[in-house]
Amino acid sequence: MKNSIEEIQKRHNNIEKLLKSSPNSGIKVSDLAKKFNVSTMTIRRDLNKMEKMGIIKKHHGYAIISSNYDFHDSSPTNSNIERIKISIGEMTAKFIKNGDTVFINTSSTALYALDFLSNREITIVTNNLKIHEKIHKESINPASSAILTGGELRLPKEALTGQIAEEAISKVFANVAIVGCSGFSLINGVTTSNANESKINRLMVEKTNGLVILVADYRKINNDSNFYVCGSENIDILITDEFCDSMAIKEIEESGIQVITVTVDSNISKEEIDQHFT
């Protein structure tokens, strides 16, 4: 049985805390596997990702906190996740053209795309009340339009759900959908942990005439959540990050989905973007 995203992230955070407490000696990989009651293969996979993120180093069967680790940062792992989301958002923005109507769901990753669209006039249709933060920051072009679906407000996520929101989405035909998720796999497609949002997300996908872009960091790939949104065949582009499992990327690409992996300074060629606009 696959670990949930929450379990993986919790384990990463706990590994980090444990290694922080032994900054000089480190801890044996096999001992970490026993400590967290997982296989050595699983713990090595965790450590590989954490090493790529600059949090730890592996040395002769031991894991040790990185010499560059900032001990004054209370949550460096979460900080890195945020940077990944921003990079995914920046890449996603490159696929949005002037004049597009764009669906954006309640995903924080999807919302980051708006930080890089101030030079384009677009129409945003969303059930994400946090869009007001982007408006106050003046991330959005003043000539752009932001349409809130209305509906039942669910806190703390600030998501608009229910029949009113669903009816609003059903009356729009978008050029692009930017959809975040709780999990994605080829077998079970796009999934979310929130039952109230699954139908709205599905409607956004169905009512998009152009690109459906799935934005998901490495934790969500090949991990399934509770409620079905849509099948993998509905996704045109997956934008994820360099920490995503390479075999998973290969399998997703072979299914016909374009996969783009980003780093903090990642760039995509103009040719790769233009192929979707011809």
pLDDT in tens, the chain (278 residues): 455 666 887 898 899 889 888 777 889 999 999 999 999 999 999 998 888 777 888 988 999 988 766 554 444 455 678 889 999 999 999 999 999 999 999 999 999 999 999 999 999 999 999 999 888 777 888 899 999 999 999 988 899 999 999 999 999 999 999 999 999 999 999 999 999 999 999 999 999 999 999 999 988 999 899 999 999 999 999 999 988 888 999 999 999 999 999 986 544 444 544 455 44
User: What are residue 240's DSSP bridge partners?
Assistant: 261
For residue 160, give the H/E element and its range: strand 159-161
Contact 179, 105 (CB under 8 A): yes
Report domain extents, the chain: 5-65, 83-274
Fold for domain 5-65?
Arc Repressor Mutant, subunit A (1.10.10)
Q: Are 106 and 123 in contact (CB under 8 A)?
A: no
Distance CA 267, CA 60 (A): 35
Q: Say how far apart CA 12 and CA 10 lie, in whole Å.
A: 5
CATH, domain 83-274, list 3.40.50.300, 3.40.50.1360, 3.30.390.10, 3.30.565.10: 3.40.50.1360
